[in-house]
Amino acid sequence: MHTHAPARGFYWLEGLQHAGALNRGRGRQFYLGGSMSTDREEREEFTGYSRRGFMQFIGVSAGVVGTTLLSQPLLRDLQAAQGVSVMSDASATRILLRVNSRQYDLLVEPRWSLLYVLREIIGLAGTKIGCDRGECGACTVLIDDIPRYSCMTLAVEAENAEITTVEGLMKGEELGDVQSAFVEEDAFQCGYCTSGQIMAVEGMLRKTPSPEPEEIQKGCSGNLCRCGAYQNIFAAAEKASRHKK
Amino acid sequence: MAGNDTIYYREGLPVPETPGADADPEQWKKTDVVGKPLPRVDGYERVSGTAQYPSDIVLPGMLYAAILRCPHPHARVLSVDTAKAEKMEGVRAVLSGSSEEANGIQWKYNDQTVPLFDPHCRFEGEAVAAVAADSWYQASDAIRSIAVEYEVLPFVVDHEKALQNDAAKVGGEDNLISEDTYSRGNTNRGFADAHMVFERNYTTSCELHTPLELHGCVASWDRDRLTVWESSQGVYGVQSRIAEALGIPLSKIRVANHYMGGGFGSKLWPGKYTLISVLLAKISARPVKMLLSREETYLCVGNRPASSMQLKAGVKKDGTITALEFGCTGPSGAYPAGGAQLVDWLIRDLYLCDNVSTSSKDVLINAGPARPFRAPGHPQGAWALEQMIDEMAVNIGMDPLEFRLRNIPEASQARGGKPYTKTGLRQCLEKGAEEFGWKQSLQRVREFNENHNHTRRGIGLGSCLWIAGDGGPPSTVIIKLYRDGSINLNMGASDIGTGTKTVMAQVAAEELGVQPSVIQIEYADTATTQFATPSGGSKTVPTEAPTVRSAAIALKRELLKMAAEELEADVTDLVYQGEWISIRGKGEKLKVAEIKGLQKRGEVIGVGYRGPNIDDKVINPFAAQFCEIEVNMRTGEVKILRFLGAHDSGRVLNRATYDSQVYGGIVMGIGFAFTEFRKLDSRQTGKLCNKNWHDYKLPTAMDVPLQTVSLPIEIDDPEANNTGAKGLGEPVTIPTAPALANALYMATGIRFTRAPVMPMDIIHQLSTQHEG
C-alpha cells in the first residue's frame, strides 16, 4: 500500500508552526466571566469590572447573548430597544463550568446545551455543531477524560466535571500530539468534523494508549466525516499513540 | 440539457470574461514543490480550532434567526399570524409574506422566479416566516408560536407516479418538464448486428449532500453596506444573488468565507435563508446569524435526484458493443433543477459504440429541488452502464477488464468525435489492475468461494470519465512581492477542503523558485480578492492553478524588466533563478528582493488571467476503481476488504491532498451503493421520513475498508493547461458503486440493480434464488 507521509523535518513542513496563530483568542470578549482565570492575558482583560458590574452584565447577557461586554453607549441602546427584558432569576441558573482548566461563572437557562454555551456564550468555537441531536460527533468534548457529545449534554449537567475542548489540547501555540498527527496524515478535508474526531481519538488514547486497528476504528465510529477521511484519521490515531509515548 | 457542461457556473448572472493569458509557458519538467505531499498550509488552523467557519462567528449584538417552514409537501398559505411571536421575550424581528420588507423580494429557483415567501408551497420545508431573537432558543420558541393556516393540496412525491395522468400537479400543467433525446448511428441496426442483447432496469435513490457544517450565514449591515459570511463554495455567487434579489450594487456587498465545512455542490449558491438573514439584519439593525437545523438541510438545500433507468445493450462475441439504448427519469423536485441532467453522459461517451440513443425525462415532484451533487448525473448512469458492461463481459466469456480495454475511445463520441487531449483510461485500467492484482485475485476469490459457504468473496471494477474537469475562464489572480521577498497570493476561489490553498501556494512557489512557507494567501472575499467562479465540478484546480502560474510569470516579467534597467542589460539576457536574477553566461547577479525598483515601489505585482481552453479537443479526467468484498451469505452483510482508485487527472499537484480526494470519493460512493436513500412517505403524507443522520445513514468508520490505495496515473497533458492538471473531485466517486455491485455479483451470482443495496435486499434475493 502506498504511503505518502512526509518524514519529519522535510522542508515543506517549514512555516507550519506559525501559520494562523494570530487568530487565537477569538470570541474572548464574549465570556461572561473568568473568575478564576489562570491566563494572565485574559485576567487582565477582565480586570476593571467590579463584581457588582459583572453581575449586572450577566443579568442582561443570559437574555441577550453575545452583547455582554458592549461599551456603555451600546448597552444603553440595547436596553432601550423594544422587546429587551432582563431575565428573571427564576428562569436562569448560575453554574460554574470548568473548561480547559479555567473556571467560568455563568448564568444559563436550564435547557441550554453545553455545546451552545461553549460556542455562543464562552466563545470556544473549536467545538462544532453538526446536527445538535447526537448523531455526528462534531461537538465531541472530553468530560472527565471521556468523549461525550456536548449537544446531548446540558450545561447544567456539566458542572463539577473537567471539560476539555480542542482548544484545551494546545500547549500555548503548539499543537498537541493528536492535532499534529492529524496535520501530518492529512486526516481531514473540510475540517469541520475534525475537532470532534480529534477529541474522540484523544479520549480513546487516554483510555487505551496502544490501540489495535480495530480499536481505533471503533473509537472513531461515533464521529461522522462526510469528506470520507476515515483512512487518514485511523493513521493519525495510530501515529498519535506513538507520539504520546 | 445533458450536453451542458457549464452547470457549475454561468447560472443566473452572466460572469465577466477575463482577458486571455499570455503565451502559454512550457510545462514544468522536474518540479521541486509541485506534486509533493506538502501538509496543508491551513492545517494548523483546522486542527487547533482557530479556523473561523461562518457558523463560528459571534459578533457583538448578534441575533439568532430561525425559519418557519411548511410542514406539508403541497399547500397554500392562507394566513400567517405572527402577533404572539412579536411579543415574545428576546424577539427583535419577524418576517413573513405580509412584511413590508419582504414585499417584492424574489427568489430564483434556477430559471423560475418566485416570491421570497410564496404562499404556494410546493415542497415540505418551503419558507413561510422567520424571526430573529436574542438567543437561538428564543428564536426557535418564537417560530413555533407563529400560527399558520394552510390549505393542504394534493401532492405527488414519487417521480414515476408523477407522470401518470391522474397525478397531482406540482406547478403548471404538466409534471414532465423536459424530455431530452440524443442519438447517433442506428440502434436498430446495432441490435440486429449483435450476437447477444441484454436489457435491464436500474434505479438509484435520492442522495443528500449533508455536509458537516450546516448551511447558514451571518449578515451584518453598516447602514447601506452589507457584509455576509456564508458557508459557501463561492463568495461571488452569493454576492451576485443578493445583489440581484435586493437591487443593491455589488460594491456594497461584501461576502467572505475563509473556511467552510463541506458543500459537495449544495453550497454552490446561497439559499432563501441568506436573503432572509439579510432582511432580518436590516429590520433589527443588528448582525444576524442563521444556521439551518440538520433537519432543514435534508428538506431544502438540494440533493442528487433519484433515477429510474432502462438500458438495452447489444454485443458481439469479440467484445464489440453494437448498440446502447438508454432511458432515464429523474425528479428535479418542486422546481426545475436538472433532475435527469447528465445521467446519460457515460452511456454516450465512455465506451466505443457507433449506435447510441438516449432519452432523459425531468419530472417535478413535491419535494425539495435538486442541486448539483458531486459529478451530477454520472454516478447514476455509471450504476447502470458499468453493471451492464460487467454483465455483457460475463456472458460472452470475457474478463470485464479485457472487455473494457477493447472499447476505449480516443475521442469524445458524444461531441462529434472531438479527440481528447489525452485519455488515460487504458492506463487506469491496466496499471490499476496490475497494482490491485486483478488476475491473481480472480483465481484466489474463485478458490475461496469453492471452500466457503457462509461467506463469499467477489472482486469488481468500474471505470468512468467526468464530462468537465477542464476548468476555464474567467479567473484573475494577483501575486504580490513585498520588498522583503515575502509573497502574497490573492485569489477569489474558495478552499472547500480539497486543499486549493495549499496547491496554489505550491504552484506559485514552483514558478517563483521559493519556499511555499513565504507565501501568504488571501482568498474567498469579494472585497479584497479577485473574481472567481464557485469551487465545484472538479474545475478549481484546472481553473485556478494555470491562473496562479500565469500571475507568477507576469510577476517575474515585471521584475526582470526592473533588473534589466538596474544591471544595464538586455532583458532577454537575464535568467530568473529563485532568489536571484543573473545575466546569462556572466557572473553578475542581483538579489530579487534587493531590486531597486521593488524597494522604491514597496511591492511589485503580477496579474494572471485564465485563458480559454483548446478549441478542437476535449479535456476530461478518467478513472478506474477496483474493490474486493466479502458477503455474509446468512446475514447479507457486506464487508469491503479493499479498494483501489487509479485516476488520470493529469499532473498531481499535491500527493497528500490528491490521495485524500480519492479516499473521500470512494467513501461517498460506498454510501451511494450501500447505505444512503431519502425516504418520502409517498402514500400518506408525502413527508420526508428520514431527515437526520440516524435514519439516513452515512458510511461511518466501521463501514469503510481499512485498505484503500490511491494510484495516480500521471500523463503529460500539455494541451490541458499550463500546469497539466485536470480535475479530480468528481471522478473519484463515479465508478465506486457499480464496482461494488459487480463484486456483489461475483460473490452471489445476483445482479443488484437497485441502489442502495442493503443487507435485507441481499438476504431477500438470496432466499428467492435459493427457493427458485
Mind listing the domains of chain B with CATH numbers? 54-153+210-300 (3.30.365.10), 375-466+616-771 (3.30.365.10), 471-609 (3.30.365.10)
Mean pLDDT of B350-379: 98
Q: What percent of chain B shows pLDDT beyond 70? A: 97
**CA distance to partner chain A, nearest, from residue B755 (Å):** 19
| B593 residue type, one letter | A
Contact B46 A220 (CB under 8 A): no
Identity of the residue in A167, A195, A229 whose CB atom sits nearest the CB atom of B660 = A229
Residue ranges of E strands in chain A? 93-99, 102-108, 140-143, 146-149, 162-164
At residue A34, does pLDDT exceed 70?
A: no
Report d(CA B89, CA B135) in Å as an integer. 10
Contact B668 A226 (CB under 8 A): yes
**Residue in the structure block whose three cell numbers are 470520507:** A228
Report d(CA B17, CA B12) in Å as an integer. 15
Contact B53 A66 (CB under 8 A): no
Neighbouring C-beta atoms of residue A13, cutoff 10 Å: 16
pLDDT at B2: 38
Report d(CA B110, CA B108) in Å as an integer. 5
Phi and psi at residue B315, to the nearest 5°:
-145, 145
SS3 B581: strand
Question: In the structure, what pLDDT confidence band is assigned to residue A1 with cuts at 50, 70 and 90?
Answer: very low
pLDDT at A70: 37
**CA distance to partner chain B, nearest, from residue A41 (Å):** 18
Q: What percent of chain A shows pLDDT beyond 70? A: 63
Identity of the residue in B56, B294, B701 whose CB atom sits nearest the CB atom of A217 = B701
Contact B60 A109 (CB under 8 A): no
Contact residues on chain B for A130, CB-CB shorter than 8 A: 212-214, 294
**CA distance to partner chain A, nearest, from residue B549 (Å):** 19
Which residue is closest to B35 within chain A, CA to CA? Answer: A4
A vs B, Cβ pairs < 8 A, gives 276
pLDDT at A27: 32
Contact residues on chain B for A135, CB-CB shorter than 8 A: 294, 692-694
At residue A118, does pLDDT exceed 50?
A: yes
pLDDT at B16: 52
Strands B75-81 and B120-121 come out as: antiparallel
- Tell whether B262 is within 8 A of chain A (Cβ): yes
pLDDT at B19: 60
pLDDT at B771: 78
pLDDT in tens, B748-759: 999 999 999 999
Contact residues on chain B for A204, CB-CB shorter than 8 A: none
Residue B754: CA count within 13 A, CB half-sphere: 8
pLDDT in tens, B258-275: 999 999 999 999 999 999
SS (H, E, C) B372-394: CCCCCCHHHHHHHHHHHHHHHHH
b/e per residue B535-572 (b: at least 16 CB within 10 A): bbbbbbbbbbbbbbbbbbbbbbebbbebbbeebebeee
Neighbouring C-beta atoms of residue A205, cutoff 10 Å: 20
pLDDT at B586: 85
b/e per residue B685-724 (b: at least 16 CB within 10 A): bbbbebbbbeebbbbbbebbbbebbbbbbbbebbbbbbbb
Identity of the residue in B62, B516, B693 whose CB atom sits nearest the CB atom of A135 = B693
Cis peptide before B372 (omega within 30 of 0): no
> What value, to the nearest 5°, has the Cα angle with vertex B747 and ends B741 and B748?
85
pLDDT at A48: 34
pLDDT at B741: 98
pLDDT at A16: 29
Mutate to test the interface with A, among B58, B495, B667 (most CBs of A within 10 A): B58
SS3 B325: strand
At residue A3, does pLDDT exceed 60?
A: no
Phi and psi at residue A56, to the nearest 5°:
-65, -40
Cell (9 digits) for B556: 517575474
pLDDT in tens, B373-404: 999 999 999 999 999 999 999 999 999 999 99
DSSP code, position B33: S
At residue B770, does pLDDT exceed 60?
A: yes
Q: What percent of chain A shows pLDDT beyond 90? A: 61
Identity of the residue in B45, B55, B262 whose CB atom sits nearest the CB atom of A23 = B45
Phi and psi at residue B686, to the nearest 5°:
75, 5
Determine whether domain A171-243 maps to CATH 1.10.150.120: yes
The radius of gyration of chain B from alpha carbons, rounded to an integer in Å, stands at 27
Cell (9 digits) for A213: 486497528
Mean pLDDT of B35-39: 97
At residue A143, does pLDDT exceed 80?
A: yes
Question: In the structure, what pLDDT confidence band is assigned to residue A154 with cuts at 50, 70 and 90?
Answer: very high
DSSP code, position B680: B
Neighbouring C-beta atoms of residue B616, cutoff 10 Å: 8
**CA distance to partner chain A, nearest, from residue B512 (Å):** 15
Contact residues on chain B for A112, CB-CB shorter than 8 A: 137
Report d(CA B418, CA B467) in Å as an integer. 13
Average pLDDT over all residues of chain A: 75
Cell (9 digits) for B33: 514543490
> What value, to the nearest 5°, has the Cα angle with vertex A172 and ends A166 and A175?
55
**Chain B, window 179-238: residues with a beta carbon less than 8 angstroms from a chain A beta carbon:** 209-214
**CA distance to partner chain A, nearest, from residue B174 (Å):** 37
Which residue is closest to A111 within chain B, CA to CA? Answer: B137
Contact B213 A11 (CB under 8 A): no
Identity of the residue in B212, B291, B701 whose CB atom sits nearest the CB atom of A221 = B701
**Chain B, window 17-56: residues with a beta carbon less than 8 angstroms from a chain A beta carbon:** 33, 36-53, 55-56
pLDDT at A245: 79
Report d(CA B329, CA B381) in Å as an integer. 11
Contact residues on chain B for A225, CB-CB shorter than 8 A: 212, 667
Domain ranges of chain A: 27-169, 171-243
Report d(CA B671, CA B703) in Å as an integer. 9
**CA distance to partner chain B, nearest, from residue A115 (Å):** 12
Q: Which of B576, B583, B584, B586 is CA-nearest to residue B481?
A: B576
At residue A13, does pLDDT exceed 70?
A: no
Question: In the structure, what pLDDT confidence band is assigned to residue B590 with cuts at 50, 70 and 90?
Answer: very high
Identity of the residue in A24, A74, A129 whose CB atom sits nearest the CB atom of B50 = A24
- Tell whether B702 is within 8 A of chain A (Cβ): yes
pLDDT in tens, B273-330: 999 999 999 999 999 999 999 999 999 999 999 999 999 999 999 999 999 999 999 9
- Tell whether B660 is within 8 A of chain A (Cβ): yes
Identity of the residue in B56, B655, B663 whose CB atom sits nearest the CB atom of A229 = B663
pLDDT in tens, B652-707: 999 999 999 999 999 999 999 999 999 999 999 999 999 999 999 999 999 999 99
pLDDT at B194: 98
At residue B8, does pLDDT exceed 80?
A: no
Q: What is the homologous superfamily of the domain A27-169 according to CATH? A: Beta-grasp domain (3.10.20.30)
At residue B15, does pLDDT exceed 70?
A: no
**Chain A, window 159-198: residues with a beta carbon less than 8 angstroms from a chain B beta carbon:** 165-167, 170, 175, 179-180, 182-184, 186, 188-195, 198
Q: What percent of chain B shows pLDDT beyond 90? A: 94
SS3 B418: strand
B500's enclosing H/E stretch is helix B500-512
Contact B38 A12 (CB under 8 A): yes
Mean pLDDT of B210-220: 98
Collect all residues with Cβ–Cβ distance below 8 Å to B602 and sequence separation of at least 6. Answer: B482, B483
Phi and psi at residue B123, to the nearest 5°:
-155, 155
Which residue is closest to B258 within chain A, CA to CA? Answer: A190
Mean pLDDT of B442-469: 97
Report d(CA B696, CA B756) in Å as an integer. 12
Identity of the residue in A109, A136, A186 whose CB atom sits nearest the CB atom of B656 = A186
Identity of the residue in A65, A85, A191 whose CB atom sits nearest the CB atom of B497 = A191
pLDDT at B22: 57
pLDDT in tens, B470-506: 999 999 999 999 999 999 999 999 999 999 999 999 9
Question: In the structure, what pLDDT confidence band is assigned to residue B769 with cuts at 50, 70 and 90?
Answer: confident
pLDDT at B461: 98
CB A195 within 8 A of CB A127: yes
Mean pLDDT of A142-154: 98
Contact B51 A191 (CB under 8 A): yes
CB A30 within 8 A of CB A69: yes
Mean pLDDT of A195-221: 97
Contact B49 A182 (CB under 8 A): no
SS3 A167: helix
Identity of the residue in A125, A186, A189 whose CB atom sits nearest the CB atom of B56 = A125
Mean pLDDT of B324-348: 97
Mutate to test the interface with B, among A57, A177, A231 (most CBs of B within 10 A): A231
Report d(CA A54, CA B698) in Å as an integer. 46
Contact A165 B49 (CB under 8 A): yes
Report d(CA B614, CA A29) in Å as an integer. 54
Can you give the length of chain B in residues?
772
Mean pLDDT of B170-179: 93
Which residue is closest to B63 within chain A, CA to CA? Answer: A65
Mean pLDDT of A213-228: 97
Which residue is closest to A184 within chain B, CA to CA? Answer: B39
| B41 residue type, one letter | V
Average pLDDT over all residues of chain B: 95
> What value, to the nearest 5°, has the Cα angle with vertex B46 and ends A37 and A35?
10
Beta partners for B591? B580
pLDDT at A23: 32
Mean pLDDT of B2-21: 47
Residue B483 CB-density burial (10 A; 0-12 exposed, 13-18 middle, 19+ buried): middle
pLDDT at B18: 59
pLDDT at B578: 85
